[in-house]
Structure 1
Amino acid sequence: MVLTKIREMVIEGEGEEAVALIKQAMQANISVRDIVSEGLIGAMNVVGPKMASGEMFVPEVLMCAEAMQEGLVYLKPFLKDGDVVSSGKFLIGTVKGDLHDIGKNLVAMMMESSGFEVFNIGIDQSTEAFLEAIEQHKPDIVGLSALLTTTMPAMRDTVNDIREKGIAVKIFVGGAPVSEEFAKEIGADAYCPDAAETVVLAKAMLA
């Protein structure tokens, strides 16, 4: 079936082939909603667990996510309200003083590929920038990333300020120096060791 082939091409990171198959599916009057949910998001639902189990590695996952994005870009003009059912809103950024973004961007891509509406506000983001973005986008979950031990205090400060404002949002934290213990200590809702686990935790928390 063509939807199965689309899923396979995305998993293999073959964006052009996936788009060609999407065109075939549309010519066969398969709905855009089914193409997205069963073909594209369906592929990432396979990729996520494979990454978590160590069967797939970051470069392969990035290729899959990029192939999925190619499919979405092609389908965008044909999407109608209701074709893509959002899993929730997810805002992510790297905290003040930290310029790392590869891990953050992978999380953003995986979340978007899994049906979340993602707002990636970039690197070196102050508490004020996070608060402004939360006010603007009204996310269900905020993800804070830190790759340096020296920027972990900024992560703590951002969590504290969000909590002090009484904003009803789940806070996820992750990055090389971050641990489950640190996440609990600063009052985050979840520690995310990798992109695949972030998707799993987010879906479970918003279920």
Structure 2
Amino acid sequence: MTTIYATLGVQPDATLDEIKRAYRRAAMKWHPDRNPGREAEAYAAFQEIREAYAILSDAEQRRVYDEVFAQEMQRWQAERDAQEAQEREAQRERERLAQEHYEKMVAIAMRFADAGHNRDVLFGVLLGRDCDAELAARIADSVWALQEARRSPEPATEVSDAQPAPAPEDAPASKLDESASPRRAFESFWQGLFGLRQ
């Protein structure tokens, strides 16, 4: 918010002498006679400078201006705070609705996947439920991949008296665990993502 102090180029606590010096500098800079070709702009600026000086050079007018400006600043700040609070609340509401919509679309896709429908059907169903194409594709791909992982059989294990072959010494334990049950690791990931339980 521009103030008449800024118009003269002084601080709000400027002394009368500082205000007078600033006025002389600004008046010389913006006098229409010193700005050929820019007379209209210079005249408008010169008028603002004269009005600012008329207020700030008078102690009573300056006091009234400072009080009114302080009140206006408080009102402006209160309005700005209220507007920002409304915007934050609106953003939270948009995020809540988006999350509800996402969870609803995932639940629908899971229901159709459990009924044996393929990925393309899931995608089409989601499109028909007002789900935008990009989100529908992501959900359909994810749910279909999860269903495929659930359907894949567990690797068969043979009971034998023979000792299992030792793992290579340079293979990390975590990699061995993942390779031993990729389906289980995959299901665990998707259950965590969708909050699903078997």
TM-score band, normalised by shorter chain: under 0.3
TM-score scaled by length of structure 1: 0.25
Looking at secondary structure, tell me which structure has more strand per residue: 1
Which one has more relative contact order, counting CA pairs under 8 Å at least 6 apart? 1
Report the structure number with the largest CA radius of gyration: 2
